[in-house]
Amino acid sequence: MSKSVPAKTLSFEALGLSKSLAESLNSMAIRRPSQIQIACIPQILKGRDCIGGARTGSGKTIAFAAPILQKLSEDPFGVFAVVLTPTRELALQISEQFAALGASLNLKQAVIVGGMDMIAQALVLQKRPHVVIATPGRLADHIRSSGEEAIAGLRRVKFLVMDEADRLLTPGFAEDLEECMNVMTKAKSRQTLLFSATVTQSVMQLKDSFRHIFVHEVPSNSISIPGTLNQKYLFIPTHVREAYLVSLLTLPINEKKSAIVFVNRATTAEVLKRIFRSMDVRVTSLHSQISQRERIDSLGRFRAEAARVLVATDVASRGLDIPVVQMVVNFDIPADPDDYIHRVGRTARAGRTGESIAFVTEHDIDRIHAIEERVGKVMTKYELVTESMVIRDSLQQTSNAKREALMDLERENSGSLRKKRR
Amino acid sequence: MSDSRKRDWFATEDNASDNELHNSDNEDGVSLQRQPVVKKAKQIADVKKSKRREIVEDNEEKEESRVTTAAKGSNKRTGKVDSILAFTTKDESDEDNDDDSEQELSEEETEDEEGFDRDENPNGILRQLSTTELEDNRAKIEKSGVVYLSRIPPYMKPAKVRQILSRFGELDRVFLAPEDPKSYTRRVRFGGNKKRNFVEGWVEFKNKKKAKLAASTLNGNIIGGRKGSYYYDDILNIKYLPKFKWHNLTEQIAYENQVRQAKLRAEISQATRENKTFIRNVERAKMIEHIQEKKQKKQAKTETNVKSESKPVPSTGEIEMRRNFRQRSVVMHKDKEEAMQRVLKNISA
């Protein structure tokens, strides 16, 4: 990435950040600003609104966290910034980065996400932390029910950041977002920063509604995935996917690699987890139907490489920065090509190499064409897993394990995972 | 996971094959709940029996023969034992035979899952008991009696229960149902006692007269003993269960396990069939590919011979379409944009 930096001398201090911030960035092993950071940090410091689009793993979080902390250090008060994210895990991750960056500032922050104790959160909010990192649903919940005391701080917010803006602006979040926006300062007296790897046309149209907005765009569609990513596909029938997956991940080449397997449904994730477990693969899962504690635990296990395979739904598709991931498997093909971009963006981050393998079944051909069009690249066939190998090694074993897993699931919670919650 | 947890809960002192008791059984549940299940099992077993041409002289006898063999082997066994005591249902289905034989023959590592039959395999360890042994065993069961404890004094362990009750006569098995793990974690979280608590229990006496005596003596009375002892003032609630034997406790679970096994077997055979189809298709695809390759080569040869530039080669590129699959929907960019526009309008408004 440093290649794209024009001048060698360009450092964070040259972008206008204070020395202490540059030092803490240094201690995080971030020495040279990336393209988006070079572009956005000075503009944000100037007080402009910003729409930042850059491919996955290019340092967007720092691009908004650093200038916010800089501004905060000049005039520290109540709730200074609100960061909204679509998923809880992403909120936690961003809070970690804020904590690392702001350690020297004695930064106080609050993570307001679902699945955790609401009263404790309200108490934290009352103490007016500098930065609030939240998911829209829980923040709206506080606004509705926690009383004026807790949300008073929100009325003077200087910064509103929407990470993964294109996801936040979908109808699913609309109501909660509206509620949050109503409480916060008007757009005129705060800075609004929108970031995503897939900035859509509508987000771009916000240009008109904001004052002097700065836009850092993804130059063209093809850049939205990193160049170091190697995209492959496997064209196989639906009912033998599990066997292929097991064969793929137990190949001698892949045996040591950390991999994320993306699926479209929580139940599939649970079944796959059980299959892998019966094959003695160190596996963990992340989806919406397990408790928040389990979610955090399993992500932590994967981060620490206690588990080699993470089976996840789209809750893990955006923003999560796990450097060890070397491989992303799309067990199901997402309906939205943008989701694909975010999923494969979990690997090949910050200039590392990575590999993605899509399992294309007979029903997914339209989807894969749409993805190839969106990404602007044609995938190549993955040659290392052959039919004879699957038949010999994993077919019968996997199908047995799958049936057993399905039966166990049915017995444990009579069909739905819902009951397991809480 | 659940199995292992179940095992953890386990509190019986002697490791007889009863380790899959429901802890949800309540006082009447034990005696009443069972009946329909037994009936059902009987029906199923009857149907199965009719299909088999086995010579079954006396079902009762057979069942009990298993009990004894099981009891003999019981100390070797750990883990999932298909509570052999529970086969009151006269079921002579294949599964049972398999299960038993598998356990018994586990040292010899027989993986022969299907078709093991006791009659065909006289050298199997499952041997018939002699009539006298059978008679003995039957008498033993007949003589035994079970008492029920509706409440276990706080943190009392099975050993203590055994000690208190063995005053009245020789005991056989003791089962105490542990408390709900949730309530345990709750207690521990709030700084409570970390010892395991039990909610109810069953105790088998070798002699039912002694069982009756114990029940009538202890019921509603304090435990007593040394004045300062921990349980001195605790009151026992103990009842003799008439016409109730130990195996009545385990039959429901045994039945459920059996059903589950059968279902799993069916599922797996279904999966195997699917896999076979897949393998066949793969082979066929290879064959077709091979044929096409040959054809192409041939064609190429003839073309070079003739050197006519009439037609381009109409092969491999055109694959015959046999079937169209319904394609899953794709989110259109336009729809997404529209939705987002709506959201933005709402927010800015």
Our CA-based measurement puts residue A181 at a distance from the nearest CA of chain B, in whole angstroms, of 7
Which range is least confidently modeled, A87-91, A143-147, A241-245, B74-78?
B74-78
Q: What is the pLDDT of residues A314-357, one digit of tens each?
A: 999 988 889 889 999 999 999 988 899 899 989 988 888 999 99
Output the six-digit token pair for A422: 């809480």
Select the more confidently predicted residue: A392 or B89.
A392
Beta bridge pairs of residue A163: A195
The number of residues making up chain A comes to 422
| Cβ(A349)–Cβ(A321) below 8 Å | yes
Contact A206 B264 (CB under 8 A): no
Rg (CA), chain A: 22
Tell me the chain A residues in contact with residue B336 when contact means C-beta distances shorter than 8 Å. 170, 200, 336, 338
Residue in chain A closest to B327 (alpha carbons) equals A363
10 Å Cβ neighbour count for A123?
Answer: 14
Listed in sequence order, the DSSP H helices in B196-332 are 208-218, 247-306
Tell me the chain B residues in contact with residue A403 when contact means C-beta distances shorter than 8 Å. 264, 267-268, 270-271
Residue whose entry in the numeric block shows the structure tokens 């492959």:
A232
How confident is the model at residue A375, as a pLDDT? 85
Q: What is the pLDDT of residues A299-312, one digit of tens each?
A: 999 999 999 999 99
Phi, psi of B12 (to 5 degrees): -65, 150
Option in A174, A209, A336 nearest B343 (CB): A174
What percentage of residues in chain B have a pLDDT greater than 70? Answer: 59
Three-state DSSP at A377 gives coil
Select the more confidently predicted residue: A206 or A71.
A71
How confident is the model at residue A82, as a pLDDT? 94
Output the six-digit token pair for A421: 């919650």
Element (H, E) at A28: none
| Cβ(A83)–Cβ(A111) below 8 Å | no
**Stretch A150-158: mean pLDDT, rounded?**
89
B105 has a pLDDT exceeding 90: no
Q: Which of A387-391, B6-10, B27-31, B308-312 has the highest mean pLDDT?
A: A387-391
B106 has a pLDDT exceeding 50: no
- CA-wise closest residue to B84 among B47, B99, B8: B99
B62 has a pLDDT exceeding 50: no
Beta bridge pairs of residue A312: A262, A286
Tell me the chain A residues in contact with residue B342 when contact means C-beta distances shorter than 8 Å. 171, 174
**Stretch B248-254: mean pLDDT, rounded?**
89
| Cβ(A218)–Cβ(A344) below 8 Å | no
**If DSSP states are collapsed to H, E and C, what string results for A143-183?**
HHHCCHHHHHHHHHCCEEEEECHHHHCCHHHHHHHHHHHHH
| Cβ(B69)–Cβ(B126) below 8 Å | yes
- Any B CB within 8 A of A237 CB: yes
Q: What is the pLDDT of residues A57-103, one digit of tens each?
A: 888 899 999 999 999 999 898 899 999 999 999 999 999 999 998 88
Q: What is the pLDDT of residues A6-15, one digit of tens each?
A: 445 578 888 8
B240 has a pLDDT exceeding 90: yes
Tell me the chain B residues in contact with residue A388 when contact means C-beta distances shorter than 8 Å. 282
Q: What is the pLDDT of residues B115-128, one digit of tens each?
A: 333 444 555 577 78
Tell me the chain B residues in contact with residue A387 when contact means C-beta distances shorter than 8 Å. 282
How confident is the model at residue B97, as a pLDDT? 38
pTM: 0.72
Q: Exposed, middle or buried by CB within 10 Å (0-12, 13-18, 19+), for B130?
A: exposed
A389/A251 Cα distance (integer angstroms): 10
Distance spanning both ends of chain B, measured CA to CA: 52
How confident is the model at residue B14, as a pLDDT? 41
Amino acid at A407: M
How confident is the model at residue A349, as a pLDDT? 85
* Contact map slice: A 179-198 vs B, CB within 8 A: 181
Q: Name the DSSP letter for residue B234.
A: P
- Any B CB within 8 A of A364 CB: yes
* Contact map slice: A 35-74 vs B, CB within 8 A: none
Q: What is the pLDDT of residues A272-306, one digit of tens each?
A: 999 999 999 999 999 999 999 999 999 999 999 99
How confident is the model at residue B30, as a pLDDT? 36
What percentage of residues in chain B have a pLDDT greater than 90? Answer: 41
* Contact map slice: A 153-182 vs B, CB within 8 A: 166, 169-171, 173-174, 177-178, 181
**Stretch B309-336: mean pLDDT, rounded?**
70
How confident is the model at residue B293, as a pLDDT? 93
A223 has a pLDDT exceeding 80: no
**Strand order, beta sheet including B198-205:** B171-178, B198-205, B145-149, B238-241
* Residues A166, A299, A125, A115, CA torsion sign: positive
Contact B275 A395 (CB under 8 A): yes
**Strand order, beta sheet including A159-163:** A109-112, A131-134, A81-84, A159-163, A191-196, A49-53, A213-216
